Amino acid sequence: MKKTYKILFFSMLFILMLTGCAMDRTEEKSSKPVDEEQQARSLVKGENPVKINLISGSTVIEAELDNSETSKQFVSTLPITLSMKRSDDREYYARIPKLSENGNAIPDYENGDVTYYTKGPSFAVFFAKAGKSSQGNLIRMGKVTSDLSLFEQLGNEATITIELKK
């Protein structure tokens, strides 16, 4: 059974690399603990949401991602460290490689949304001021499950590591 999962995992990784949608992180994938591999397999199968942590210094913000193609491609890049900028006291964002747009397209954000901004392309997390904008071109990948006030601990720029929750 374990061998079957390994074959499935590496087959999916190989397919993503062939389509040019994944960064070359083969070495990092093979060194991940079993828990993280199981979470990634769950996402690929469309089972449970994948739990991630956004870590900046001692601040840990938890979130869950759905199982859309957009989220699957994003998960294939984890762990990733981004230099994120605060914008309008409502979001943190950073440019990332282009992802699939086959996900939950939304006309505007809600507080706590974890998104892919297609025009960036950017990864963005919204924590305040929902309903006071008209931010389009977003694909909702998931939701922050931690208290959104944790974002107040971060400065105008923050180095944030995003990884699968252990």
The model's pLDDT over 84-113, given as tens digits with 9 standing for 90+, comes to 999 999 999 999 999 999 999 999 999 999
* β-strand partners of 157: 85
pLDDT of residue 70: 97
More confident residue, 157 or 36: 157
Helix, strand counts (H, E) of the chain: 4, 9
CA distance 70 to 158: 24
Tokens matching residue 166: 């252990």
Decide if pLDDT at 15 tops 70.
no
CATH architecture group of domain 2-164: Beta Barrel (2.40)
Q: Is the pTM of this model over 0.85?
A: no
Q: In degrees to the nearest 10, what's the CA dihedral of 75, 110, 146, 59?
A: 80
pLDDT digit string, tens, across residues 19-64: 444 333 333 333 344 454 454 444 444 568 999 999 999 999 999 9
Predicted confidence (pLDDT) at residue 145 exceeds the cutoff of 80: yes
- Using CA atoms, how far residue 103 sits from 69, 86, 156, 157, in Å, is 6, 24, 29, 28
Least Cα distance to 113 among 92, 127, 132, 93 occurs for 127
User: What is the chain's mean pLDDT, rounded?
Assistant: 81
pLDDT higher at 80 or 9: 80
The residue extents of the domains of the chain are 2-164
Distance between CA atoms of residues 166 and 149, nearest Å: 23
The pLDDT-based confidence of 133 (bands split at 50, 70, 90) is confident
Handedness of CA 92, 98, 103, 104 (dihedral sign): positive
